[in-house]
Chain A
C-alpha cells in the first residue's frame, strides 16, 4: 500500500529520502509505475517524485550526445539532434505508446524500469550508451548493457538515481535502424524489438552493434551476430551466417503474446531486412 508521496526539493533531497526509506520508489513520468499500481504488482510503501527535478537536456558535448534522464519521448521525437544522429532512438521514441504516454514517458524511466520489452533500450544499446548514476556516494557511470540483471531488475540500489544517458557520437558515415514487432499501430508492448548500428567504408563493414528486446529476460546485445559480421563485405553468405547466428544470441519464450518460434522468425527477418539495406548503403 502506498502511504507517502514525497515532493523533494532537489535530487540530493530525493536521494536522501530514498536512502532513508528503502521501500519508497522514485517516480518520474509514472507511466510504468501506474500500471503496476493498478495490477497490484508494486512492492513499495511510498513514492518520491522526480518529475521536474531530473535534468531534461538533449545536447551535443564534444564527441558525446548527452540526454537528461527526465527527457521525455515527446522531446526525443522532436529533437533534430536525435533525428540526425541517433535515428534508432528517434524511431523508438516516436512510436512508443501514444501521444499522451510520450509526453510523460522519460528515458530514465524506460531504462530503470528494466522491462525486457523497453523500446528505447535496444536503440540506446546499439549506440553504446552509458548511464550516469547519482547516489549518496557520488556519481558513477555504467555501460547500459551491464545495468540489467533480470526482468524488472537492475544493479541500481535504493537511492541510486539515473540522471543522464550518454551516447558517443556515432561515426559520420554509419547505418542505423530500429524495428519493433507490435501487434497494432500504437499502444503496444513489443514482442521483439531490434536496433542496429553499423560503420564501415570501402565496401567493408567495420564494427556492428546489434541489440534485441523481448527475446530474453533482459534487453541483450548480440555478440554472435556482431562477430559474424565484423570485417565482412556483407555478401549473401555473410548475411546468411549472421542470420544463423541469431539463435545463439536470443532466448525467446513461448507466452500468450507470441510463440518462441515466431519471435525467432521475426528476429531473423528483421536482421535480414536491415542487412540487405546495409548492403546497399555499404555499396554506395
Chain B
C-alpha cells in the first residue's frame, strides 16, 4: 500500500487537534484496526512549545546559581609548559578557577574510549581543548577571567588531513598512533574481479564537515545533591551524561541523576557531546558546592561541539558491459578530529553501508578513522552514511553515463532481491524494497519526461541549466551489531487511580516527536484515549539505561518497550473488567477509550475499571523491556548481520544550476521511503521534510571553513543553512509494508530522511552540467570554477 502524502495534502490538514477517539455508534464493536496509530493527533509537547511555557535549561532558576565557563587556548596542537590562573582568580565575581588537578575523579571523557582529557594538562590537540574551568557570578566576570588565563605552550606541527595523518611520517596525536579505528569488509575475491572487469571506474570523493545548527545551543545545569549530583540539560542521551559525569567525579552511576530538559534539537550533535559541558558543570558544582549552569552562545557552540565527519573516499566500482556490478573497492578516510568520540561507531556505519542496496559480489572496503587536529567529528543524522552514499551513487551515475544507460534502470538491474546477499554477506530475511521505492519515485516524479525536458532545455546552452538525479539507499535501522549491547530499552507505564497514564521512556524527545509516538502507542495498546496519556521527561532515576536516542531506533525500541508494559497492564485490567461485566476474560477488549464486552460497549467506563482495579490493589505500573535478537557479525571480515532490519528509500531531485554564479537551486524533490508503518503521520512527514532541507544544506551551501584546525565561520552570518526560500517543492510517497518486529509494523525514518539527499542532488547537478562532481558541498564556487574548467580547460587551468 502506498499512502499518498504530498506536501499539499499535508498542508491542507486542519491545524486543530484531531481527536483520536473515533465518533462511532456506541453499540458496535470497534474494528480491530488501530484507532490511534497512523493518525496525526496534536503533539504532546505542542502546547508548551508553541505558547513559550516550555522551560528550557536557560529558563530554569536555582538558588545560588553560578555561571560556568570552559576556557580554551589559542593553540591547536601544542605541548603545555605552564597554565597560570592566578590573575583570573582575582577577577571580582569569580568563585572558582579550576585546572586538571582539580578534577576529583578521572580527568578523562569519551563515550567509546576515554581518550580525551576533560581539562588539558600536557598536550593541546584541538582548538576546542579546555585548559581551565571558571565559575562566576555572571557571564561577564567569567569571560573577563577567561581572558586572563595564561597558557604557555610550545606549538607542535599540525595534522590537518586524514589521509596524510596515516602516513608514517605524520606527527602523532596519541601514543597509539593516528589510526584511531579500522573497519573492513572482505567478501568474494575483489582482486580476481578487478583483473577481469570490463569496466573499472575510479574516482576520489571528498565531503565536508556539517554543523548541526539545532535551535538551542548546548545548555546544562549541575546541582550538588546529597553527596551526588543532579543534572538537567539539553541532550539526546541522559545515560551517556550519567556515565561521563560519574567518571569525572569518581562517583557511582547511582549517585548521578540526569533528567533531560526540553531540548531544542539534536540531530546527533547532542548524542555524546553534552557529556562534555555536563562534566565541566559537575566538576565546578562539586568544587563550589553550588549549582552551576553552562550555556554556550552560538559561536561557542559551533566552535566547540562535534560536526559531521569530513571524509575522503577513494572508490573503484567494477561492472560488466550489461551494467551488472561485479566489484567494489573503497578506502574511506574518516577525519575524527583530536579524539575518538563516536568516530569509530560512525565509521562502522559508513563501512557497513558502503555497498548500498545493491548486489555486489566482490567487495573490499577499508574504513580508516584518523586522528587530526581538525574540528571534532561526531554523530550527525545519517552517521557516516550520507558520505558513502554520495560516493557510491555518484559512481552508479558515472557507470550509467559510460554505458549510455538510464540511471534508474541501471539501479533496478542491481538492487538486492529476495534471498540475495548483501555486501556483508547477509542473506536478507525481510523483503528488500529498494526496487519498490525506485519504481515509485520514478513514476511519481515523471522521471523520464523530466530528464528529457532537462536535456532538451540544456541543448540550447542556456546560462541556467536543468538536471534530474536519483539516489537510492539501504539503511540498517537501529544500532550496528558492534553496539548491540546498548540496544535494550525500557519504558515505565503507570496508570493512576483516576485513569490518567504517565509513561517514561529511556529515550529522549529532541523535537522528533518521540513522546507523541510513545503516547500514541500506549493509548493504542492500553485501549485508552490519547489525551489520557502523559509523557514525563526522561530521567535516569525512573527507567533503566535504554541506550542512546540515535539510529532511528526510538519508535522501534522504546515503542516495543511501551507495548510490553501496556500489554502487561492490560492483562492485569482485563480480569477485573471481566468480573465486573460478568463475562469471560477472553470476551473483554479495551479499545478506543472504552471497555467492550462480547463486542458491545460495556456500561463500565475505563475510569470505573481503573478505580475498581486500584481498590483491589492491582499493580498498575510496569516497566516494559525490549531487546532485539542477537546479531552475528565478524569484525575481522565485516561479514555477518550488521543490523536487525533495513529501510529502503529512493529520492529524485530536480535542480537548476546558474552557470553565471554556480548556484544550485533545488526545485523539487520526490522522496519515497519504506517506513514499515507510519505511527505518527505528521511526524513522519515532518522528518522527511526536515531531512530533505538539512540534506540540501549539506549538499549545496553548508561549508565549514577550517584553516589550521580552526573554524573561521562559527556564526550563522557565515555558516549558511537553508532558509524557507531555499526549500524545494516536496512530494512524499510512503511504502507501508509492516516490519514484523516493529510496533504495529513501524521502522525508523529519522536518518533515512537525510541520507540519500546530497547524493541525489549531486547526480542532478552532474546531469545539468555534463560532468561528475566529486566534492561536497557543491558550493557555488566549486560549481562555477568546475564549469569554466569544463568549458575551456586551458583558460581555467590555475
Contact = CB atoms under 8 A, between A and B. Distances in A.
Specify whether A and B are partners: yes
13 contacts: A35-B717, A179-B660, A181-B780, A183-B720, A184-B725, A184-B726, A186-B724, A256-B718, A259-B781, A261-B785, A262-B780, A265-B788, A266-B662
Nearest to A98: B723
Interface string A230-257: 0000000000000000000000000011
Interface string B652-667: 0000000111110100
B718 A257 contact: yes
Nearest to B780: A183
A183 B779 contact: yes
Contact of A185 (B659, B712, B723, B780): B723
A34 interface: no
Interface of A: 35, 39, 98, 179, 181, 183-189, 256-259, 261-262, 265-266, 269-270, 273
A184 to B, nearest CB: 5
A184 B703 CA distance: 12
Nearest to B299: A39
B43 interface: no
B713 interface: yes
B543 to A, nearest CB: 41
B690 interface: no
A181 B661 contact: yes
A183 B784 contact: no
A112 B713 CA distance: 26
Contact of A269 (B661, B726, B798): B661
Interface in B773-798: 779-781, 784-785, 788, 798
Contacts of B723: 98, 184-187
B463 interface: yes
Given A183-B701, A187-B723, A266 B718 contact: no
B701 A184 contact: yes
B705 interface: yes
Q: Which 7 A-B pairs have the closest CB atoms?
A: A185-B725, A256-B705, A269-B660, A256-B712, A262-B781, A186-B725, A186-B723
A267 to B, nearest CB: 10
Interface of B: 463, 659-663, 665, 701, 705, 707, 712-713, 715, 717-718, 720, 722-726, 779-781, 784-785, 788, 798
A270 B779 CA distance: 18
A185 B781 contact: no
Which of B463, B665, B725 gathers the greatest number of chain A CB atoms within 10 Å? Answer: B725
Contacts, number: 58
A266 B660 contact: yes
Contacts of A273: 463, 660
Nearest to A273: B660
Given A183-B663, A258-B781, A262-B785, A189 B717 contact: yes
Contacts of B712: 256
Contacts of B779: 183
B25 to A, nearest CB: 50
Contacts of B659: 269
Contacts of B717: 35, 189
B417 to A, nearest CB: 41
Contacts of B722: 184
A209 B199 CA distance: 56
Contacts of B661: 181, 266, 269
Contacts of B707: 256
Given A265-B788, A273-B463, A184 B720 contact: yes
Given A188-B720, A189-B717, A262-B781, A270 B725 contact: no
B785 A265 contact: yes
B462 to A, nearest CB: 11
A269 B722 CA distance: 25
A262 B784 contact: yes
Given A39-B715, A183-B779, A185-B726, 4 more contacts: A184-B722, A189-B717, A269-B660, A269-B784
A152 to B, nearest CB: 15
Nearest to B704: A256
Contacts of A259: 781
Nearest to A181: B661
User: Max chain A CB contacts within 10 Å: which of B665, B701, B722, B780?
Assistant: B780
A187 B716 CA distance: 10
A256 B712 CA distance: 7
Nearest to B777: A183
A273 B464 CA distance: 12
A262 B663 CA distance: 12
Contacts of B726: 184-186
A228 B404 CA distance: 47
Contacts of B663: 181, 183
A265 B783 CA distance: 12
Contacts of A39: 715
B115 to A, nearest CB: 30
Contacts of A35: 717
A261 B786 CA distance: 12
Contacts of B720: 183-184, 188
A5 to B, nearest CB: 20
B544 to A, nearest CB: 44
A187 B726 CA distance: 11
A81 to B, nearest CB: 26
A189 B720 CA distance: 10
Nearest to A258: B781
Contacts of B660: 179, 266, 269-270, 273
Q: Which of A183, A257, A258 has the most CB of B within 10 A?
A: A183
Contacts of B725: 184-186
Contacts of B785: 261-262, 265
B593 to A, nearest CB: 44
Contacts of B701: 183-184
Given A183-B720, A185-B723, A256-B712, A265 B784 contact: yes
Nearest to B788: A265
A98 to B, nearest CB: 7
A223 to B, nearest CB: 24
A163 to B, nearest CB: 30
A269 B661 CA distance: 8
B627 to A, nearest CB: 44
Contacts of A189: 717
B787 to A, nearest CB: 10
